[in-house]
Structure 1
Amino acid sequence: MEKYKESLHSDARQLTIYARTSPYISRAFYHIFGKKLLEEGCVDCSYVLKALGKGSYYSRLNSQGSNLYKLYAKSCMTSENIEITLEYLEAIAGNQDRNLSPLEEEALVYWIFLPYTSTNTPKREKKKEYLIAILNCFAPEWIEKYNGINEESSPKQMDLHEKNNIIYDAERCELELIDSVSGYVKDISRMKQQDTGRILYFRGHSRFSYALLPSIKRSPGWQENENRMYQELIIRCASDFAQCQSHLDYLVEMQHYGLPTRLLDITENPLVALYFACCSSPEDVGEVIVLQTQIAAMKYAKSDTAAILAALPVFDASFRTKLYESCINGIPEEEDPEYISLAAKLAGEVKSKNPGFEPRIKKKALLSHVFIMPLRNNRRIIKQDGSFILCGLGDGNGEGNSLRGLRYRNESGKKLIFIVGNKENLLHELDQFSVNKASLFPEIDDVAEYIKLKYNGSDK
C-alpha cells in the first residue's frame, strides 16, 4: 500500500476509535452513508467528494442554535493532521449527550473532509480513499447491528468501491455508467435476452439519492392525510373525474396532475427512463432503475388485486394502520374477527365501483405491490409507454413499502445499477431518436416550451 494510503487508513482507525467515546460521530456517518449502504448497497457521496466550498453551514448552524457552527469559524483551521482534527472536535463538540439534527450531522461529516476539498486530483483521490477507509472501519459494527434486525437481507461483509461519486458494495452491486445511448440499449437488449420469462420495467431518477418510493410515502403528512387529499381533490375538481369508473381511474388521474398517490410511475421504454434521469439536476448523478417481474405476475386495470389496493386511499390512516396490524398478526384470515370486519368494509368500497367483485381479500394481497398495465386512455401514458407499480400497506406500520426486491439482478445475484453522468450529451443523443419533452409531454404548453428552448439563441 502506498505511504499516503497507509497514513489515511491509520487516520480512519483513529477517528473511529475516538467515535466509540463520542458516538454522535458514528451516528452521523451511519445516517448519511451507513444506512443506505446496508439497505441498498450503494450511496451517493457527491456532497463530500465534489470539490465544493463551505457553503452556508456557519450561518445555518448558528441560526439553529448549534455550537457546531464554531467548526466553520475562521479560527478553526482544518487540517490533514488527525490529531489536530480530534482536538478541535473535543474542544467544540466534546461528548454530545444528545442526537444531532440532520443539518448538524451533515455539517460535521463535511467538515471532517474539508482539508481535502480541492479541484486538485491528488486531493480528491485522498478524500475518496479516506472516506472509504472510514466507512470500512465503521462497517463491521453497522453490519453486526443490522444483522440482528434484517437477517434475510443483511450483508456479511462489504467491498467498497467508488465510481462517479457513488460508493458501492461490490459484493452486492454492479455499477454501469451510461455514457452513450447505443451502449445503454445494447446492455438492455442483452438483459432482456437472458430471461424471457420476466418483463423489465424502467424508471429514471435525476438524482441518485432519490428513494424508490411512490410519492405518498415521501412525507409523513401525506401518508397521514392520504384519504383527505384524495377526497378533497375529487370534491374541488369534480368535473375532471367525471369519466372515472374505478378507484384506479381516480388514482391515475390524480397522479397525472401531481397529487401524491401510492402509484409509482414506470415505463416499458428504457429510453424514456433515461430521459427522466437526464432532464433535470444537470450537476447531479442520475440513475436508471431497472425493475423485473414475472410476466404472469402482471396485472391489468380490471384485476381484483388492483381494485383492492386502489381503494385503500378512501380510508383514513387509523383504519389502514389497524388493517396492516391485522395483516401481520399471524392469525389466519378466517380466524381473525377484527380482520374479517375491516376487510368487509374494504370489500364493500371495492364493490361500490365494481359490482362483480367477489368479497374475498387475502392478507398477503394487502401487503403486496403489483405491476399494473393501465388502460391506454391518456395521451401522456401512451407517449411514455407508461405503467405503474401500485403499492399496498407495505412493511412499516402500514405506511412503508420496500420495493428493493424488485430491482434487476444479474446472473451472479448482484443488483445492477445504471448511473448517468454527462446528461447534456445524452439528452442531445435522445433528441436524435425523438425522445424529448415535446414527444413525452404532448400537452401544448410542454410542446411550446420545448420549441422555445430548441430555438433559443438561434441565428435563424
Structure 2
Amino acid sequence: MPINSCTVYRLRGLVGAILDIASKLPAGRSLWFRGLSKAQHTLLPKLMRDGKGADEVFERERRLLTRFRQRSLAYWPAGYPQNDWEHLFAMQHYGMPTRLLDWSENLFVAAHFAMANPSKDDTCLPAVWCVDPVAWNRATPSLSELGDFVHVLTTADDEAESYRPESTKRKVKSPVALFGTHNSQRIVAQRGTFMIWGNDPRPLETFASEGSGILWKIEIAGGRNNLAEELAQLGFGETMVFPELPSLAGELSRSEGWRS
C-alpha cells in the first residue's frame, strides 16, 4: 500500500493537511481517522499483535467470543441482540482482543487520542492516520471486481459474511472498512468506524493494494500539551470522547485550574 506521510506543526498544521487531502477526494467521499500516541506504532488489531498465525487467531477469537457470551448475559438489558457481530463490537468496546481496529469519522477524536497517554520518550511524535475507506475497499482484491458498486461494508452485506466471527466461509485475507454497531454512548460520541481483518495478520500499512492516495500518516510536532490546549480552546474536551460523569468532573476541575 503506498503510504503518504508528512510532519505538521500543531493543530493548525494537522487541520490544514487534512483539508488538503480531503479536497482531492471525489465528491461525496470522506476520510476516517485514527490517532496514535507514538508515530512508530503500527495499524494492527489487538488480537493480532503477538505474531500468531491465522488458525490460532480465529481459534482464540472463538474461545473469547464463547466465554464473553457465557459470562455477559446478566449484564445486557432485556431484548438486546445476541448475535456474533453484536458481541464482537461489544468486546472491542470493552477492551477485549478482536480483529477490529477502531477509526473515527471525526478528526478531533483522533487528535485527542494522539495526544493521550504520552510517551516517556520525548522524541516520539504523536500521529494521526487517515484513510479513504471507499478507495481502500475498492482496492481490496476480494472486492475490487465489484468496482464502483463497492462502498463501506455493513454487517448485513454479503461481502462481509466471510469476516463474520462464526462464518462457515473461508476467511479472506485483506482488511476491509466496515460500519459497526453503535452499541454504546462512547462509540456514538466518537463517531466510531472500524476495519476488520481476515486471515492475514500483517499491519494495515503493509498490504499491497492497487492505486495510491488511500492511506496517509501525519506526524504532529509542537508538543502534546499544546495540542491538548488547542483542542480545549476549540471546545473539544474529554466529554466529547467519553460522555460520562468522570470525564465531566475532570473537565470542570481543569477549567478551574486544578491539575493534580
TM-score of the aligned structures, taking structure 1 as reference length = 0.45
Distance 1:250 1:307 in 2: 15
Structure 2 unpaired stretches of 5+: 136-149
Q: Pick from 225, 241, 257: which aligns with 1:440?
A: 241
Identity level (%): 25
Contact 2:132 2:214 (C-alpha < 8 Å) held by counterparts:
no
1:212 and 2:43 aligned: yes
User: How many residue pairs were aligned?
Assistant: 234
**Separation (CA, whole Å) in 1 of partners of 2:4 and 2:172:** 32
Q: Structure 1 residues 435 and 269, CA, compared in 2 at 3 Å: closer, same or farther? A: same
Aligned pair partner of 1:200 in 25, 31, 37:
31
- Aligned 8 A contact 2:127 2:217 in 1: yes
Determine the structure 2 residue equivalent to 1:419: 219
Indicate conservation of the 8 Å contact 2:131/2:214, yes or no: no
Structure 1 residue corresponding to 2:159, chosen from 302, 305, 315: 305
Q: Which runs of 5+ in 1 are unaligned?
A: 1-152, 154-171, 313-345, 348-360, 395-399
Is residue 2:180 matched to residue 1:374?
yes
Partner of 2:23, secondary structure, is helix
**Which residue is equivalent to 1:278?**
115
CA distance 1:287–1:233, change in 2 (3 Å): same
Asked if 2 retains the 8 angstrom alpha-carbon contact of 1:408 and 1:415, the reply is no
Q: Is the 8 A contact 2:42 2:205 kept in 1?
A: no
Q: TM-score, normalised by structure 2?
A: 0.76
Evaluate the alpha carbon distance shift between residue 183 and residue 309 of structure 1 in structure 2; reply closer, same or farther with a 3 A threshold: same
Choose from 401, 412, 429 the match for 2:230. Answer: 429
Larger Rg: 1
Find the aligned partners of 1:379 and 1:407 in 2 and give their Cα distance: 35
Q: 1:267 aligns with which of 76, 87, 104?
A: 104
SS where residue 133 of structure 2 aligns? strand
Counterpart residue identity of residue 200, structure 1: L
For the residues of structure 2 that align with 1:407 and 1:436, how far apart are their CA atoms?
A: 37
- 1:231 matched residue in structure 2: 66
Q: 1:393 to 1:415 in 2, by over 3 A?
A: closer
- Aligned residue runs from structure 1 range 56-455, under 5 A: 175-196=5-26, 198-219=29-50, 223=57, 225-241=60-76, 243-281=80-118, 283=122, 284-294=124-134, 296-312=150-166, 346-347=167-168, 361=169, 363=170, 366-394=172-200, 400-404=201-205, 416-421=216-221, 422-455=223-256
Greater helix share, structure number: 1
Name 1:98's counterpart in structure 2.
Answer: none
Q: Aligned partners of 2:39, 2:236: CA distance in 1, in Å?
A: 21
